[in-house]
Structures are given as C-alpha cells and as structure tokens.
C-alpha cells in the first residue's frame, strides 16, 4: 500500500425554502468523535477519530478513511445561526440551519 493520506469526507450543502441542510458522510464515526463549531458565519466540523485494527488484523485496503480532519463552510447571509441543529443517523451527519425571516415590504408614512 502507498503512504497513507487523509482527506475530508464527502459533503452536500442544499437550500430549501425555509432552511439550509448540510449533510456529511461519516461512516463508522460516533457523534462524540465530531466537533461542530460556529465562529461568525463560519461553521467548522472536525474530528480526531482513530481506527485501531483488532488484535491479529492488518489493514490491507480501506474504502473510507478515518483520522484527523477539519472542514469549514461559510454560511449564507440569510442563515439564522441561532437555529443550527445536528443529528447523526446511519453514518450521515445532517446539520439544519433555518433561514432568517425576510423583512416584509411596508409603506412608511411621512410626518
């Protein structure tokens, strides 16, 4: 095998009418191994997940990687950062960010 390198996991960032959804593929990584931080409008995910081969086993090939990684996303202006929620189900971390309400147009009376 070649020298081991680590890359960030696959991610999809989508927009719906009421919110944004970020999905990150995290096979075999427990929720307590992932750190999710927000600084301003930048959302950062990182982990220090380690894979230890069971005694007597030697890793021959791997289709997915485990190890230290970090990835950041700049959230859109309409993202309401106070509403961020996350859940991990079946190896997919799903992060939902609601949109801020758009101010309605209104007429301003001149006094």
C-alpha 95/C-alpha 23 separation (Å) is 6
Distance CA 43, CA 94 (A): 13
**What would the pLDDT profile of 36-50 be if each residue is shown by its tens digit?**
999 999 999 998 766
Domain boundaries, the chain: 11-52+62-98
Confidence (pLDDT) at 84: 97
How does pLDDT run across 3-34, given as a tens digit for each residue? Answer: 444 567 899 999 999 999 999 998 878 888 89
Query: Cβ contacts of residue 13 below 8 Å, gap of 6+?
Result: 20, 21, 22, 73
Per-residue pLDDT tens digits for 48-96: 766 667 788 887 877 666 678 899 999 999 999 999 999 999 989 999 9
Report whether pLDDT(1) > 60.
no
Q: Residue 2 above 50 pLDDT?
A: no
Residue range 11-52+62-98, CATH number: 2.60.40.790
pLDDT at 50: 65
Residue 44's pLDDT is what? 96
């Amino acid at each position: 095998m070649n020298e081991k390198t680590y890359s960030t996991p696959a991610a999809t960032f989508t927009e719906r009418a009421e919110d944004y959804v970020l999905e990150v593929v995290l096979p075999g990584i427990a929720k307590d191994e992932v750190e999710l931080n927000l600084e301003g409008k930048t959302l950062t995910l990182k982990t220090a997940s380690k894979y230890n081969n069971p005694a007597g086993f030697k890793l021959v090939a791997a289709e997915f990687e485990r190890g230290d990684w970090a990835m950041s996303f700049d959230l859109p202006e309409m993202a309401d950062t106070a509403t961020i929620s996350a859940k991990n189900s079946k190896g997919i971390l799903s992060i939902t960010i609601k949109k801020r309400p758009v101010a309605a147009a209104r007429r301003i009376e001149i006094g």
